[in-house]
Amino acid sequence: MAFIQTIPRQEKAFMNAQTVTYAQVSSQSLVMGNVLNFENNLPFTLMTWFKSASALLGLTFISKQNQLSPKRGYRIHSKNALTLSFEFYNTITTNAIEVEYTGGAVPMHRDGSWHNIIVTYDGTKLANGVVVYLDNAILAPTVITDTLTATTLNTDDLSVGSRNGTDKFMDGNLTQSAIFDNKLTVAQVAEIAVKPVDLTKTSMRDNLVGWWGVDGSVFPTINDNSNNNNSGTMTNMVAGNIVNDAP
C-alpha cells in the first residue's frame, strides 16, 4: 500500500527591508488608478510610514484628490515641518473637512527618522469624526473647515507620494502604505503603528483593501499585498528608487 506524504504549505514570510524614495523635483509618485473611492458617509483609514528631512512644502503621503478646483476627494500630507493635514473635500473651503495638526501638538516629523501616520474617519461628515495618530499618539486637531455635506466621489487616480500624480509630490521615503474600509480602533492602531507588521495577520485583515509594502516588488510595479489587485506603477522613477532602507 502506497503512502502519500502531505507537505505543509510554506507561508511567505513577512519582509520589511525596502522602501521607495521620492524626489519632489522629479515629480515622482506611485499611481494605482481610479480605485478606492470613499463616499462621505463611509468610514475608512489611511496609513503610511514616512521619512523626510525636506524643507519643501506640501509633501503628499496618500491621496485620491484632483489637483484642480473643487479638489474633490481625500489627502493626507505634511504641509511643512510642523504641520500635518487631512483633507476630505467635495469643494475646497465651502463643502469640506480640513483638519490640521500644528506646532506644539506635532513633534518634529521631518527629522530624517521614520514615522508612522494613521488617519481614521468615521463616516459622520464631521471634522470630529477624524482622528490622526503620529507614532501611535493621538494629535490635537485644529479644524480649518467643517462643512461637508455633498459627495466626495471622483474619478481621479489614487496615488502615494503625490496628488493625482500631478503635483504636491513627496520628498523623502514612503513604505507600507495601506487603506482600510473601516475606522480602526485605538487598540487596532496600536497593533500596527509601533513597527511594520504583516497586515494580513492582524485583527483588521478583513477590512484591508490596499497595502503597498515594497519587498517582493519589481520595478516599475509595487504589488498590492492585500490581494485586492490594486498594484501601483512607479512614475518618473527608475529601479534605483527602490532602496534598502525601512522602519
Which 3-state string (H, E, C) describes 165-229? CCECCCCEEEEEEEEECCCCCHHHHHHHHCCCCCHHHCCCHHHEEEEECCCCCECCEECCCCCCC
**Would you give the DSSP letter of residue 9?**
P
Neighbours of 15 (CB within 10 A): 13
pLDDT of residue 3: 52
pTM of the model: 0.94
What does each C-alpha distance from 80 to 67, 96, 111 come to in angstroms? 19, 21, 12
- Per-residue pLDDT reduced to its tens digit, 162-189: 999 999 999 999 999 999 999 999 999 9
| pLDDT over 80 at 105, yes or no | no
Residue 12 confidence (pLDDT):
64
Task: Name the grid cell of 236.
Answer: 518618473
pLDDT tens digit sequence for 121-132: 999 999 999 999
Torsion angle defined by CA atoms of residues 45, 232, 33 and 29, in that order, rounded to the nearest 10 degrees: 90
pLDDT of 2 above 60: no
Q: What percent of the chain has pLDDT over 90?
A: 90
Residue 95 pLDDT > 60: yes
Mean pLDDT, all residues of the chain? 94
36-90: pLDDT as tens digits: 999 999 999 999 999 999 999 999 999 999 999 999 999 999 999 889 999 999 9
Q: What is the DSSP letter of 58?
A: -
Residue 42 to residue 99: CA distance in whole angstroms: 18
pLDDT for 9 equals 47
* Mean pLDDT, residues 213-230 taken together: 96
Burial class (CB in 10 A: 0-12, 13-18, 19+), 67: middle
Instruction: Give dist(CA 199, CA 34) in Å, integer.
Output: 23
pLDDT, residue 74, reads 98
